[in-house]
Structure 1
Amino acid sequence: MSRRWRATLLTAGLLAAGLTGCSAKAPTAERPAAPADRSTSTTPTPRVPAGNAPTESFAVGVRQLQLKRDDRSLPVTVWYPAAGTAGGDPERSVAAADGDFPVVMFSHGLGGRPDDYGALLTRWAAAGFVVAAPTFPHTSRGADGNVLDVLNQPADVSYALTRVLALDGAAGDPLRGRLAADRVAAAGHSAGGVTTVGLFTAGRDERLDAGVVFAGTSLGVGTAFAGATAPQLFVHGELDEVIEYAAGKAVYDAVPWPKAMLSLSEGDHGRALLSDGAALRVVADTTVEFLRWSLYGDAAAKGRIASDATRGGLATFDNHL
């Protein structure tokens, strides 16, 4: 790792406050004006063919995979659409629902764990997605907190993705024949947002069809977005006290593909992602419709994204999808 990269990542030490917040609030950048829907723009279209997302809600199952990449322990929590009645709490290792479900890889923030985001990730699973979230060896809660290790996390996610997709052909596995291996997205919060950006820049994983970045920045991974068209959705609080709104907006501006930015006018660094409430409902509904469009190819879902994003006046939506 070059000295320049080390110096850049050291400035990301502020991410340590990402899940607990801090009292000081960062300056608020000018938010993008709310433009007309640009869904008919000439930006490149996603490579996922047109289709329809499930209309019903699913029960949710949850399981653990014990993975290891070289000497890096990578336990992975997997939430998935399950057989049974929708609406209850996730159940351990229950049978999967019938279907062919896209995969979303989720990366937690510094000092966090996948379960911290259960309120959001179970909503994604209930909507028809298999969500796999690694616990990173150095940036998870209880680890050594080495921020520089964020640079290794895109490769961790790619490794975990390979292992998750292999379950589709694993005899006797509950997810055998249930994974749409050609429809994959990456998402992440804070340091996990850096990880996600890295999966589309310096560590481009060409299997990824879309990305969702919560309160992220490009520290250490750059903004040289590469590879096939992959729509991106950015979610950032305008009062983010850890990663300034302007930093997230700068990465968003550099994306060359179809993109949108959900700006929460009273949003902080992301505590709304961790517990239920009006802001989480807006974020959850907006991200679900984005994933339905980008991974299922559902045109009707695309049409609902902007209205979900602006419901209740909690956020503005810059739409270049």
Structure 2
Amino acid sequence: MPTPVVSVHPITVSQHDRGVRVSAPVDGSDLPVVVFSHGFGQSARSYEPLAGHWAAHGFVVVQPTHPDSRTLGRPLTPDVWRVRVDDLRHAIDSLEDLEAAVPGLRGRVDHGNIAVAGHSWGAQTASELLGARTPDGEDLRDPRVSRGVLLAVTGRGGADLTPFAAEHFPFMSPSFDDMKTPALVVAGDADQSQLSTRGPDWFTDAYHLSPGDKTLLTVFGGEHSLGGISGYESAETTDENPARVALIQRVTTAFLRGEPLDVDSSLGGVERK
């Protein structure tokens, strides 16, 4: 059963001058942590259908705002992809301070049980803490992270990128060869990106090209918003479908808990390796 949630935003700690949102259940102990990376232009206030659900089901959800957020109006810099990764790492570094900033949360967080998650560009950001390599081969894996949830994660780059993407987003060429940390990859089978020359299967590369314990959830009919995970009444949602969102809520929560995945075969399919 879901429990009441307390959510505090903005919290400014350490290098997080852009503010962090923390959501957590009002009771319970040894609460696991999910650090979430938003998609391009979004913010810590986005993704309530996921953040609110996870918090109501026993997780502490930490959401930094990245510098590309439309709420900031800042110009993008070439190193923005690295700043995004640093934001997630700093959030983990600052867990004690974040915990102290939320009334009633101190002493209830399991600092040894940390997952990362993200959507779209945020999923690529999260994947680098799981072991995906940057285009120059740098290893940014964080050993404190035990698993991840990658929603509509962009695939490999190179020849699979459109000329526009190759020119403007050169960092979109990750290697998943060393991404060994367990992860759930969620992809919509109707997600056709304008950044890739391939079809919706581009968003399954993180599953197919990485070693180790991986699970793929294919959302039938899902486009890039996967039914509306970025927010209730979100203008970015192109395929609004509450049933798809409910499926993703249920499956991601079970995965993060290490429980069996319950998937309605009319909405999606699960593959494991």
What amino acid maps onto 1:260 in structure 2? T
Greater Cα shift, 263-272 or 244-253: 244-253
- Say which SS state the counterpart of residue 13 (structure 2) adopts: strand
Quote the Cα distance in structure 1 between the aligned partners of 2:154 and 2:92.
22
User: How far apart, CA to CA, are the structure 1 residues paired with 2:46 and 2:81?
Assistant: 19
Residue of structure 1 aligned with 2:8, choices 63, 69, 74: 63
Amino acid paired to 2:12: Q
CA contact (8 A) 1:232 1:257 kept: no
Shift of 1:267: 0.5
Alignment of 1:38-57 (within 5 A): 56-57=1-2
Query: Cα 1:238–1:222, aligned 2, differ >3 Å: closer, same or farther?
Result: same
Counterparts in 2 of 1:229-248, with a 5 A limit? 230-242=181-193, 244-248=199-203
SS at match of 2:175: coil
Pairing 1:158–2:89 present: yes
Contact 2:31–2:58, Cα closer than 8 Å, also in 1: yes
**Which residue of 1 is the match for residue 115 of structure 2?**
185
Instruction: Spell out the pairing of 1:73-84 with structure 2 (5 A cutoff).
Output: 73-82=17-26
Go from structure 1 to structure 2 and tell me whether the alpha carbon gap of 1:139 and 1:198 turns closer, same or farther (over 3 Å shift).
Answer: farther
- Count residues with an aligned counterpart: 234
Distance 2:19 2:107 in 1: 22
Q: Deviations over 1:261-293 (max 9, x none)?
A: 111120100152134710000000000000111
| CA RMSD, 1 decimal | 2.3
The structure that is helix-richer by fraction is 1
Tell me if the contact between 2:81 and 2:125 (Cα under 8 Å) persists in the aligned partners: yes
Give the conservation status (yes or no) of the 8 Å contact 1:110–1:141.
Answer: no
Q: Distance in 2 between matches of 1:61 and 1:215?
A: 28
- Higher-Rg member (1/2): 1
1:285 to 233, 244, 250: 250
Distance 1:140 1:222, change over 3 A: farther
Q: Does the residue aligned with 1:234 lie in a helix, a strand or coil?
A: strand
Deviations 1:102-155 (A, max 9, x none): 000001000112322101211101110000000112344443362741232111
Q: Which residue of 2 aligns with 1:100?
A: 30
**With structure 2 as the length reference, what TM-score do the two structures score?**
0.78
Matching of residues 3-18 of structure 1 within 5 Å:
none
Change (3 A) 1:250 1:312: closer
In the alignment, which residue of structure 2 is the partner of 1:206? 143
Report matched runs for 1:290-309 at 5 Å: 290-293=255-258, 301-302=259-260, 305=261, 308-309=262-263
Secondary structure of the corresponding residue to residue 247 of structure 1: helix
The runs of 5 or more residues in structure 2 that have no matched partner are 132-138, 156-171, 233-240
Distance 1:134 1:204 in 2: 18
1:47-66 CA-to-partner distances (Å, cap 9, x unmatched) read: xxxxxxxxx43111100211
Q: CA deviation at 1:160?
A: 1.2
Task: Find the residue that maps to 1:318 and give its secondary structure.
Answer: strand
SS in 2 for 1:290: helix
Question: How high is the sequence identity, in percent, across the aligned residues?
Answer: 29
| 1:195 to partner: Cα distance | 0.3
Letter in 1 for 2:13: L
Q: Is the 8 A contact 1:110 1:147 kept in 2?
A: no
Consecutive unaligned residues of structure 1, counting only runs of 5 or more, are 1-55, 83-96, 294-300
SS in 2 for 1:267: coil
